[in-house]
Amino acid sequence: MAVDFKVLQKIKGNPSTEVAPERRLKINPGQDYVYDLPKELIYAVNAEFPVESLFNSDKEISADFLEERGKSFMAVLIKNTDSEAFRDRTADMIERVAEQTGIRFPHVFERYVEHAILALRPRDAWTVTEATTKQLKVRSFNCSLGKKFAEKGISNCQTFCFAAYQAAAEKVGVPVKMTCNNDANDSGLCELAFQKQ
């Protein structure tokens, strides 16, 4: 829709006026917050859920096994990342903004996705290629987990990720549809797309 003279004439208000009471956040002088993910969180998650457990199990690496492991991993991650010991200011602000705007996707969910990647494979290269209120896309380059699965002859490693992120979506209370564009064997590129339902 092109905005023209008539449309604009109907617009009233002062842009500097607060949108709603209590919406404006002010600097808290003297506060020293911490941001980003502490290394100790990675150690804590790994102590409870060692990556090796995915590959050294006596059980067959079936779809059911991957799904169960994905759920277990996310439970461990959520317990740790939301604990007093590891919660950071970014998390507080994401939650505050979600409360103020009523919008929980993508970032309340994305926080768990990002923490999962950093906790499981902190040295991997990955990026977020889209983060709108409708869609989130996360692209991994040469996923080290995918590589290890491939060495074991497992090509449906996304089952593990899907199960983990499904658990995260349930925790956040936002239904998402997940798709995976996985080329781990060839270019090593793997892109997960999450669409808010």
Partner 1 sequence: MCWVCDKYGNGEKWYLNPENYARRLYKVRKEGKEAAGADADPQAAGMGAGVVAELVKARISGDLEWENEIKSDALEHAYQTHFGQVVTLDEYLQILDIAYPLAKMTCGCRRVQRGMPDDENFTCMGIGPGMYKWERWPETYHGGVEFVTPEEAKEWAMMNHKEGRVQTVDVFGTPYIGGLCQCEYPGCVAVRNRIDYDFKFLLKGHTVAKVDREKCIGCKSCLGRCQFKALNLEVYTSKAYIDLDQCFGCGLCVTACPSEAIELVDRQSLPGIAENW
- Assess 153 for contact with partner 1 (CB under 8 A): no
Q: Is 5 in the site for partner 1 (CB under 8 A)?
A: yes
Instruction: Give least dist CB 139 to partner 1, A.
Output: 10
Return the number of the residue (69 or 107) whose C-beta is nearest partner 1.
Answer: 107
Distance from the first to the final alpha carbon of the chain: 25
For the segment 31-60, give every residue that binds partner 1 (CB under 8 A).
31-39, 42
Give whichever of 110 and 158 is closer to partner 1, judged by the CB atom: 110
And the tokens for 162?
Answer: 């899907």
Q: Does 181 bind partner 1 (CB under 8 A)?
A: no
- Residue-level length of the chain: 197
Does 27 participate in binding partner 1 (rule CB under 8 A)?
A: yes
| 23 near partner 1 (CB under 8 A) | yes
| Long-range contacts of the stretch 181-185 (C-beta < 8 A, 24+) | 182/146, 182/157, 182/158, 184/143, 184/146, 184/147, 184/149, 184/150, 184/157, 185/150, 185/155
Q: Give 172: exposed, middle or buried? Use CB within 10 Å, 0-12, 13-18, 19+.
A: buried
| Closest residue by Cα to residue 191 from 156, 141, 124, 121 | 141
The Cα 95–Cα 107 span in angstroms is: 9
Residue 155 interacts with partner 1 (CB under 8 A)? no
Which one of 47-55, 64-72, 102-110, 154-162 is the stretch in contact with partner 1 (CB under 8 A)? 102-110
Nearest-5° Cα angle at 190, 177 to 154: 95
For position 104 contacting partner 1 by CB under 8 A, the verdict is: no
Q: Contacts with partner 1: how many residues (CB under 8 A)?
A: 61
CA torsion angle 160 74 117 48 (round to 10): -100
Q: What minimum distance in Å lies between the beta carbon of 50 and partner 1?
A: 19
Q: Which stretch binds partner 1 (CB under 8 A): 47-55, 64-72, 108-116, 147-155?
A: 108-116
Q: Which of 45, 73, 78, 107 binds partner 1 (CB under 8 A)?
A: 107
Q: Say how many C-beta atoms besides its own lie within 10 A of residue 182's C-beta.
A: 20
The residues of the shown chain that bind partner 1, judged by CB under 8 A, are 1-5, 7-8, 11-16, 18-19, 23-29, 31-39, 42, 88-90, 93-94, 96-97, 100-103, 106-107, 110-111, 114-115, 118, 122, 126-133, 135, 137
